[in-house]
Amino acid sequence: MGLFGNIDLMAKMLDIKLKRHELLSNNIANVDTPGYKRSDISSEGVFKDILKTHNMSLTTTNDKHIKARKHINDIKPKIYKDQDHSFRNDENNVDIDKEMVEMVKNTFSYNIVSDQIQKNFKILQTAISEGRK
């Protein structure tokens, strides 16, 4: 996994949270656009892929072996358009209240992961400074 494995994992999670924030912002901005369908990320599948990639520890001893381990940067979030029916006459399916709640939840989870990265760097900094003594 390496020294920065957890930090790489959390950085990928931050990238996905940022992308979801952009999508939610677009949904809110287009709340009054006729025919607009909301977009989102299927984050559960993405995070499962990240954890599978992170936990798999197979190694290859020959260049011809099949690489069993994906690189964390190869995982891409799956963006989808929500095609649910709308109760509005203009066929827009954005619910502003739902989007605002999702935005707050996404912001909180982004901040939690960001704090964890910061704590990991503080641990490394402590290890470096105490190692000199």
Residue-range domain boundaries for the chain: 5-131
Instruction: Report the chain's mean pLDDT, rounded to a whole number.
Output: 83
Q: CB–CB of 37/93 below 8 Å?
A: yes
Please name the residue that has the structure tokens 């989102």.
40
pLDDT for residue 52: 63
Three-state SS at 58: coil
Per-residue model confidence as pLDDT tens digits over 47-66 = 666 666 655 555 667 777 66
Confidence band for 84, pLDDT divided at 50, 70 and 90? confident
What would the mean pLDDT of 111-121 be, rounded to a whole number?
Answer: 94
